Amino acid sequence: MSPQILELNDHGITFGNAEGIRLISPGFALAREKSLVLGAQAQAQSRLHPNESHSRYWQELSLDPLPAGRLPGNRFRHLADLAHAHLNGLAVDADANTDNVIVSVPGSFSRQQLGILLGIAKQTPLAITGLVDSALIFAAGAQSINASDDTIVVQQQLHQTLFTLVSWHEGMLKVDTSVALPSSGSQNVIDALMQLSTELFIDQCRFNPQHDAPTEQLLYNALPAWLAADASSGSLMLELSADGAVHNAKLPYESLVSSLAPIRQRLLAQLNAMLSRAPHAQIVLCSTLSELPGLMPQLAQLAPVTTLNAEQHLANSLTHSDQILSGGASSLCKTLSLSRPASASPTTSEAASETDGAAGDALAQVGLSAQGAQAAALLSSLRVNGERVANAAELTLKQGDSLTLSIDSEADGQNTLTFNLKKLTNGAD
């Protein structure tokens, strides 16, 4: 029987198996005197009861007693108690066999935190049989898309973003180093947008959605849907029903991008620091960061970018489960034996050699990136010499290259548009 996979990213802890993801639960806990609410339900009340809301218990997992009054009663003494309750709830809610569970942990976990994790898991139905660095799994998945000797995996959590350098050498994929960038998590993005949208509501309709806790919670809960809305018109329409009235505000997309500039700049600065160590690395991005307005075009200027989501992490974890399980639960798997497929793109060093040798034949260098679902779908249909083009790819086009774009139509099936590159006889490109 294939194992269950538990990925501990507190932005959304995922539990799944060969049948797919069974549940996703953000790392929130609402600890009140007579009740404990966890996951999405706790997140949806976090602004109503800020003093009783906890969202750092995974990142700061420890057995250190919390100050008096931070947790109610005698049931909860430290953050590990909240993590234990969350694990126990996940095991119950997953409604699946939990006798064989691989836990994919962030590289920011210390040895002590791993020990605490194993200890509290023993007090739940979860039987942990393997531990793996989650960045290693993401890097392994990216190798089948774009082979590279060095990979920088960027994972956004609730309150920080983790950057991990993973290297491939002679068939072995290995985690080299991890760096956590504080105050760059998904909650920091939400906080910035809370401030921006509040200013817009005040300016445009004289309504302050943060004037009390209930309306602040309404604003907080509405933000994800607004961000997912189509911004092709150049602006987003924000609508909030509160105090018996409907309030509307218009958010220009440029203002949205501008408000998140400080977070993007810090992310880019950390990426550049890691690229100085591995200048030919590819970037593997978690799906939450790929949706951060304004980030993808900037990343495309630094290195090739591949985006992987929770479903792909689950599939790749199952693919390499035998290797992970061979180490047992007593040690963290940070190395995988990995043979790259012949169909994968050449390594950076090979690509550089090929580019140098064909420099005289190059007609153009083109950067391609897709923003939005329709654009991503269109880009996924583009082929260069029969090969799929990755999002945010940098292409060197040469004489004789063929570009094909296939579009499905309900009326007459698939239509294909083909571009054949030729050099003009006068030498002009």
Report which secondary-structure segment, H or E, holds 131: strand 128-133
The stretch 273-289 carries a mean pLDDT of: 94
Residue 240 vs residue 414, higher pLDDT? 240
CA distances from 315 to 9, 142, 159, 305, 309 (A): 16, 12, 26, 20, 10
Torsion of CA 144, 145, 151, 155, to 10 degrees: -100
Report the pLDDT averaged over residues 371-395. 55
Determine the pLDDT at residue 76.
86
Instruction: Name the residue type at position 99.
Output: D
Closest CA to 308 of 127, 80, 146: 146
What tokens does 244 get?
Answer: 């018996």
Mean pLDDT of 352-367: 50
Handedness of CA 118, 123, 124, 126 (dihedral sign): positive
Query: What is the pLDDT confidence band of residue 63, given thresholds at 50, 70 and 90?
Result: very high
* Over residues 361-388, mean pLDDT: 56
Helix %, strand %, coil % of the chain (to 5) = 35, 30, 35
State the chain's mean pLDDT as an integer: 85
- Reported as a single tens digit per residue, the pLDDT across 187-229 is 999 999 999 999 999 999 999 999 999 999 999 999 988 888 7
| Partner residues linked to 332 by β-bridges | 131
343 half-sphere exposure, CB direction, 13 A CA radius: 6
**Is residue 365 pLDDT above 80, yes or no?**
no
pLDDT at 259 over 50: yes
- 352 pLDDT more than 50: no
**What does the pLDDT read at residue 35?**
84
| CATH for the stretch 4-134 | 3.30.420.40
Segment 89-141, tens digit of pLDDT: 999 998 778 899 999 999 999 999 999 999 999 999 999 999 999 999 999 99
What is the pLDDT at residue 39?
97
DSSP conformational letter for 51: G
pLDDT number for residue 68: 73
Q: Is the pLDDT of residue 178 over 90?
A: yes
Taking 80 as the threshold, does the pLDDT of residue 171 lie above it? Answer: yes
* Across 32-36, 51-55, 124-128, 150-154, least confident range: 32-36
Q: Which two tokens stand for residue 116?
A: 């605490």
pLDDT for 307 beyond 80: yes
How buried is 9 (Cβ within 10 angstroms: 0-12 exposed, 13-18 middle, 19+ buried)? buried
Residue 161 has pLDDT above 50, yes or no: yes
Residues 6+ apart with CB under 8 A from 109: 8, 61, 117
For residue 422, pLDDT over 80 is answered with no
More reliable by pLDDT, 245 or 372: 245
- The DSSP code sequence of 20-62 is EEEEEE-S-EEE-SS-EEETHHHHTTTTTSGGGEE--TTTT--
User: How buried is 302 (Cβ within 10 angstroms: 0-12 exposed, 13-18 middle, 19+ buried)?
Assistant: middle
* CA 150 – CA 282 distance, rounded (Å): 6
Give the separation between CA 264 and CA 262, rounded to whole angstroms.
6
For the chain, give every domain's residue range: 4-134, 358-420
17 versus 424: which is more confidently predicted? Answer: 17
Which is more confidently placed, 68 or 349? 68
Residue 343 has pLDDT above 50, yes or no: no
Query: What pLDDT is attached to residue 356?
Result: 45
